[in-house]
Amino acid sequence: MRLTPEQRSACEQRIRAAADQLLSGNIPPGGRCDVKTLARLAAVDRAALYGSRPYAALREEFERRLGAVQAGPEHPDPRDAQITRLAAQIIVLTSRLADRDDTIAGLTAFKTTALSRIAAQHQEITSLRQAAAGNLRLLPGRAAGTEPG
């Protein structure tokens, strides 16, 4: 079906308006700052934006402008910025987790060493008590089993 010059002009205006909307960061729910959303907002067939179709030049212009905006400090699609922020956060959290794992491994080794030393000291004290049991005498003036008051 052939488009009249008025219909084609109206479609081009809708595509330009949709491109301006997307590049300004006003992205509809469920959309992204891409050609698919551009075609949906402009109410044109996405295929008309590719190849030698009538609106391919407008798609190329949109992609060029999108590249320029993305190269700047602000991204029109807030999800792209969120993905970048979350990826950086994952790197930081992974590093912190590795540090915590190292700390836990060190503390576990320290605990094992400490328990081993305590067990060795307890055994030595027990053997010394048994060896000294024959050398013990009660002090004069105190009955066995009474506490000083």
End-to-end CA distance of the chain: 113
Identity (one letter) of the amino acid at 121? Q
Average pLDDT for residues 57-71, to the nearest whole number? 83
- pTM tops 0.95: no
More confident residue, 57 or 98: 98
- The whole-number pLDDT of residue 148 equals 61
Q: Is the pLDDT of residue 42 over 80?
A: yes
**70, pLDDT greater than 80:** no
Q: What is the percentage of the chain residues whose pLDDT exceeds 70? A: 89
Average pLDDT of the chain is 83
* CA 36 to each of CA 30, 44, 53, 70, 126: distance values in angstroms, whole numbers, following the listed order: 11, 10, 15, 17, 81
